[in-house]
Amino acid sequence: MTDPLIVRNLVQIKKAAAQVNRAGGTLAANKASAIVAACNELLLGQHQEAFIVPAIQGGAGTSSNMNVNEVIAHLARRNTGLLVHPNDDVNQGQSTNDTYPTAGKMALLELVPALLEAVALLSQTLLAKADEYHDAIRVGRTQLQDAVPTTFGATFHAYSNMFRRDLRRLHVASAALKTVSLGGTAIGTGLNASPFYRQHIVAQVNQQTGLELQQADDLSDAIQNVDVFPEFSGALKALAVNLNKFCNDLRLLGSGPQAGLGELHLPARQAGSSIMPNKINPVIPEAVNQVAFSVIGNDVTVTMAAEAGQLELNAFEPIMLAKLLENERNLSAAIKMLVTKCVRGITVNTELCRSEVEQSAVAATVLAPLLGYKATTQLIKEAMATNNSVRALLLEKQLLPAATVAELFSAAVLTGSSRVTAPAQATGR
């Protein structure tokens, strides 16, 4: 069925239109009152069974708009005995082409605060993890190969910043949804709407909803071009891409516990196998991955529907709005689940991570400025061939003073927060 939020916001528009048309002298006061009373019943959640139109429909939303018009007219007639007409009275000054997309934008805007709250919570939780593990050293990896050391503090901080960017994108993209075509009627010319109605309808809707909508400067553009929807969808897709990357990293870093990386402990949420005892799967990140896949797929649908518009109207707003509303709801729920059931409970296997750093030949990259790239490469190859540590070889060959070696392999130097200058005894060049 048509999304309940779209239906409710169509009702809000009908209520506002009746009030404006009454004030403008184009709708009788008794009919306006009857329409407003009927709308109030619906806004209280009554008669929801009367809205029977599928979410995906032809006609650019006309079926949903007329379903609402007819239910309101029926209630108004039933309550007062007045001959309230669904087109002439309830739909006065309107067209599906301006009411339906406006109601859709209003619905999208209503779901934005919950999504912003969820993303902000994720970013803040990751920032707290960064503080908790600010000095927990680990082997960095590029192309899944050992790279120079880093810390889980830096890792979690980077994730936090990634989602902060998502917050900024969502703020910008959702602000664009506040520009609406209401008052443009069929193709933006305002045909059959009084000048009074066109001037006052958006303000009246705002008074009822507090959404701070703005009437588009160019109503023809606002009706025929729907690029605001792929723009908003793009922000949701970027968030989904980041969630995918983050959850993939969690699953990889938490893999094992014996034959994987095992650097993170993810909270155990359910038995992971019907055949393998004590197997625990990363079910929360896996669920979020699947939500992200759906959001990315829906973005393709929104993109195709937006570019398929022709001339003065895009007929495919129903599928765009259905997919965008689905994305908002699923992302909000998935992110809150990820925070509360996974991220908050993550712990770092600090002893394993430090041991891996100390045994990693790549950690010897810090020697290159002192011994030179070629000599450092030879030293690393020898360490790997002899199953020895670079640190031990440095001391055995007396290439550097023991105090310098100890400083070089400290967490501060290995992660770049401190530097060591070449001692006079360096003999590797």
Catalytic residue numbers read 273
Long-range contacts of 168-176 (CB under 8 A, 24+ apart): 169/235, 169/238, 169/239, 170/112, 170/115, 170/116, 170/119, 170/235, 170/236, 170/239, 171/116, 172/235, 173/231, 173/232, 173/234, 173/235, 174/108, 174/109, 174/112, 174/232, 174/235, 176/228, 176/231, 176/232
Q: Which H/E stretch holds residue 139?
A: strand 137-142
> Cβ distance 399 to 427 under 8 Å?
yes
Helix (H, G, I), strand (E, B) or coil at 332: helix
How many residues does this entry show for the chain? Answer: 429
Helix (H, G, I), strand (E, B) or coil at 321: helix
CA distance 157 to 153: 6
CA distance 71 to 8: 12
> Cβ distance 384 to 145 under 8 Å?
no
CA distance 78 to 166: 49
CA distance 119 to 383: 45
- CB neighbourhood size of 40 (10 A): 13
- The DSSP annotation for 13-24 comes to HHHHHHHHHHHT
Q: Where are the alpha helices (DSSP H) in 317-425?
A: 317-341, 350-359, 368-371, 373-386, 390-397, 402-408, 411-414
Residues 6+ apart with CB under 8 A from 49: none
Strand partners, 145: 142
Q: Which of 307, 102, 321 is nearest to 223 (CA)?
A: 102
